[in-house]
Chain A
Amino acid sequence: MSFSVLVWKELRELLAEKTILIGILLMPLILFPLLGLTMVAGFSSAGRAQQVFEAAVLDRDDGWASRELLETLKRAGVRLKPTPSGGDLNEILEGLDSRLLIIIPEGFSQNITNYRQASIQLYYRLERLSISELQGLSNFQALVSYSSTIFGERLASGEGIDVRFYKSPFTASEFIVYQGQVLGGVSTTVFQPVLYLSLTIPIGIFIIAVTAGSVSATSVALEKEAKTLEILLTLPIHRLKLLASKLLSSIVLAALGGASFMIGFLIYFQGIMSMIRQPPVEGVQTGAEMLSTFYSLSGPVLLLLGLIVIISLALTLSIGILAGVVAGDVRGGQQLASLLLSLLFLPPFMLQLLGGLSTLDPTLLTIMMLNPVTHVFLALESATASDIPAALTHILVTLAYLVLLLGVAAWIFSGERLISLRVRLGRRGILETVRGSGK
C-alpha cells in the first residue's frame, strides 16, 4: 500500500517538472522527426539544384567548336540562354537573370582545330553559403567536366579513335562482403544513410541520456533543496522502499521516454527510407535496400532496441539519482550528473565514430569494457546488425552494472549519508566531498 502511494507521489512530482516532460518525453518525438525532415528537405533541395541548370551563354568565338560544345551542354541537361555580348564583365553580370554564366572566348574553335587545349570561363552566382548552393555548384562543375569528356570523345570519334578505351582500358565490378552476405552493385553514395544512422542513433541516445540523468538528479536534489527529504526520511517506510519508489517512478518515466524515443526514431527512419527508395543509377542497390541489409529492423530487433533504450535510461536515471543524492542542491546535482554521464558516454561514443573497439590496445580496451555505457553501445551495434546473442550478452552486462549501481544507492539510502554526504564541484572542477550536518 505505502509503496504504491510513494510511487504515485514520485510520479506526480516528476511529471510536474516541465524539464522532465520536455527532456524525456517530448524531445525524442521532436528531435528525430526534425532530423529526418531536415535531412529529406536538404537532400530534396540539393537534388533540385542538381536537376535544373539554366545558364546564360556569351559565345564570343561563334565557331564550329563552340557550337559543338554548347550542343553537348544542352544534351547534358543545361538550358542555355544567349546573352548580349556588349559591355564589360561587370555590366554583363549585373544584367544577368541567370545564376550561371558561360563565356566562350574568341579563338576557342581555332585552338581546338589546332589541337591546342582551349578554355572557357564559368561564373556561378552564390545566393548564400548553404550546403544546397555549394552542392549545386559542385554538381554544375561535374556536369561541365562530364561535357568536356563527352566533347573530347566526339572529337576523337571524328578522327576514328575510341578514346574511352584509352581512358579506361578495364572496368571493375565491386562487391561488398558483410556478415557472410555478398552484396553486388553497391554504390558508395547509398552508404550515406547507413552513416547517418550510425551517427544519429548514438547522438540521440547521448542527448536523451544526459538530459534524463540531469533531470532525475534535479528531481532528487530538488527534494533536498525544497527541504522535503527530511520528512520523507522519517515516514514509517523502509529506506529501500523509498529508493525503490524513486527508481520505479524513474523507470516508468524511462519506459515512457524509451517509447517516445522509438516512435521518434521510427518516424525518422521512415523519412530516411522514403528519401532513398530510388536507385541513383540503374542496377545499383537503393539506399533503402542497403539500409535494410545493414540495419535489419525486424520485430525482435525493435524489441531489443526498445529494451536497450529502457535499460540505458534506467542506468542513466540511477546515476542521476545518485548525483542528486550526493549533491547539496539542484545546481550541484545537475553539474555532477552531467559530468558523470559525459565521462561515461563520450569515450564509447567517440570510439563508435572513430573505428570501434578493435582499434584499441588491450589496456585501453579493458578500461573501455569497464564502462557500462560501452556495453550499451555494443548492444545497440549488435542489435541493429541482428546479432541477437551478442546484444543479449551486452544487455546482461549492462544490467549487472545497473544492479551494482542500485547496491551503492541502497548503501547510501540506508544510513545518514543521504543527509550528511555532499559532493560538489570545486572552483577548479575538482570533486570535493563535504561532510556536514546537512543543514
Chain B
Amino acid sequence: MAAAVEVDGVWKFFGERAALKGVSFRVSPGEVFGLIGPNGAGKTTCFRILATILRPSRGGAKIFGFDVVRDAQEVRSLISYLPEEAGVYRSLSGVDYIRFLARIYNRDEVEALHEAEEVSGLGDALRSRMGSYSLGMRRRILLAGALIARPKVAILDEPTSGLDVMHAVYVRDVIKKYSRQGMTFLISSHNMLEVEYLCDRIAIIDEGVIIAEGQPKYLKESAGAENLEELFLSLKRGAQ
C-alpha cells in the first residue's frame, strides 16, 4: 500500500543556508504524524514543500504516490494546508469563505456549511465578516476550511495556536474524529502534551535534520525521558 506521505532525502536551500538537510520520513494512511522541534528547525519549510508551495532543492516527496513537484496539481487535490500564521479574507464572511471552498472542492454548500459550523463552533458569527474575527475565531474558521475540503492528507502547522484551552481541546477532539474516519494528519506543534495526545508517531527535527522518529511512548522509554520535552533535550545533549 502506498504511503500517505513519503519524504525522501529532502534538502532545501535559501541562498547559501540549508533549511532542510536530507530529511526523510513516511506517514501511513490514517495516521496522525507529528513533526516537532524548536523554532527554525525546518518544520514549516518541510510542510510547505509537501503543500507544493516550495520545491525541494534535492531529494523528493510524494503524497499517495504523487510527486509534489511533477504532479503538484494532483497533490493539491489530495491535501489541505493550514499554515501557522494564516490569515483570513477580511471582506468575506465565514459563510462566504466556506461556500467559496465548497465550490472549489465540489462539495454540497449546505452540507459543507453545516460541517464548518460544527467544526468551528462559530454559530451566528459565521455570518459576520472575517475581518472582525478574533485570532481564535480566525484559527477555527481556517481549520474548518481545511477539514471541509475532505483531504486525504491534512497538513496542519500549529493547529491550536492562538486558541484558548477550551477551544484547543475541542479542536484536538475534532482532529481525532476525522482521523478515525481515515484522514491522514501531519501536524506540528510546540505543545508537547498536544503532540503526545494526538500523534500516533512523531519525528523530532532540529537544524534541518530528523534526530528521532517513532511512537512517542517508545521514544520516551528508549531515552529514559518522562516527557517529550525531556526527550528533546536529551537528544540535543547527545548530539553535542
Asked if B200 is at the interface of the complex by the 8 Å CB criterion, the answer is no
Would you call B53 and A233 a contact (CB within 8 A)? Answer: yes
Question: Which of A's residues lie within 8 Å of B, judged by CB?
Answer: 1-2, 5, 8-9, 12-13, 15-16, 226-228, 230-231, 233-238, 415-416, 419-420, 435-439
Would you call B81 and A234 a contact (CB within 8 A)? Answer: yes
In whole Å, how far is B184's beta carbon from the nearest beta carbon of chain A?
A: 15
Asked if B134 is at the interface of the complex by the 8 Å CB criterion, the answer is no
Would you call A231 and B82 a contact (CB within 8 A)? Answer: yes
> Looking at the complex, which one of B55, B81, B106 makes contact with A231 (CB distance below 8 Å)?
B81
Asked if B191 is at the interface of the complex by the 8 Å CB criterion, the answer is no
16 additional A-B pairs beyond A234-B81, A236-B76, beta carbons within 8 Å, are A2-B104, A5-B100, A13-B92, A16-B90, A226-B88, A226-B90, A228-B87, A230-B81, A231-B82, A231-B83, A231-B86, A231-B142, A236-B73, A416-B55, A419-B54, A437-B14
Known contacts A13-B89, A231-B82, A231-B145; is A2 also within 8 Å of B103 by CB? yes
Chain B, range 1-48, C-beta contacts under 8 Å to A: 14-15, 19, 44-45, 48
With the chains together, A1 CA to B145 CA distance in Å? Answer: 19
> Looking at the complex, which one of A1, A16, A238, A437 makes contact with B103 (CB distance below 8 Å)?
A1
With the chains together, A236 CA to B73 CA distance in Å? Answer: 6
With the chains together, A5 CA to B99 CA distance in Å? Answer: 9
Chain B, range 35-78, C-beta contacts under 8 Å to A: 44-45, 48, 51-55, 73, 76-77
With the chains together, A237 CA to B81 CA distance in Å? Answer: 14
- In the complex, what residues of B have CB within 8 A of residue A236's CB? 73, 76-77, 104-105
Which B residue's beta carbon lies closest to that of A238?
B73
Which A residue's beta carbon lies closest to that of B85?
A227
In whole Å, how far is B107's beta carbon from the nearest beta carbon of chain A?
A: 12
Question: Which of B's residues lie within 8 Å of A, judged by CB?
Answer: 14-15, 19, 44-45, 48, 51-55, 73, 76-77, 79-83, 85-92, 96, 100-101, 103-106, 142, 145
8 smallest beta-carbon distances between A and B, as pairs: A16-B91, A227-B87, A226-B87, A236-B77, A234-B81, A236-B76, A5-B103, A230-B83
- In the complex, what residues of A have CB within 8 A of residue B19's CB? 437
Most chain A CB atoms below 10 A, which of B45, B55, B86: B86
With the chains together, A226 CA to B87 CA distance in Å? Answer: 5
In whole Å, how far is A360's beta carbon from the nearest beta carbon of chain B?
A: 42
> Looking at the complex, which one of B80, B87, B104 makes contact with A237 (CB distance below 8 Å)?
B104
- In the complex, what residues of A have CB within 8 A of residue B53's CB? 230, 233-234, 416, 419, 438
In whole Å, how far is B66's beta carbon from the nearest beta carbon of chain A?
A: 12
- In the complex, what residues of B have CB within 8 A of residue A5's CB? 100, 103-104
Q: List 18 A-B contacts (CB under 8 A).
A: A1-B103, A13-B89, A13-B90, A16-B90, A226-B89, A227-B87, A228-B86, A228-B88, A228-B89, A230-B81, A230-B83, A231-B145, A235-B101, A236-B105, A415-B55, A437-B14, A437-B44, A437-B54
In whole Å, how far is A378's beta carbon from the nearest beta carbon of chain B?
A: 39
- In the complex, what residues of A have CB within 8 A of residue B88's CB? 226, 228
With the chains together, A9 CA to B86 CA distance in Å? Answer: 17
With the chains together, A1 CA to B83 CA distance in Å? Answer: 26
- In the complex, what residues of A have CB within 8 A of residue B73's CB? 236, 238
- In the complex, what residues of A have CB within 8 A of residue B96's CB? 12
Would you call B44 and A439 a contact (CB within 8 A)? Answer: yes
With the chains together, A12 CA to B100 CA distance in Å? Answer: 12
- In the complex, what residues of B have CB within 8 A of residue A437's CB? 14, 19, 44-45, 48, 54
- In the complex, what residues of B have CB within 8 A of residue A226's CB? 87-90
> Looking at the complex, which one of B14, B51, B81, B105 makes contact with A420 (CB distance below 8 Å)?
B14
- In the complex, what residues of A have CB within 8 A of residue B86's CB? 227-228, 230-231
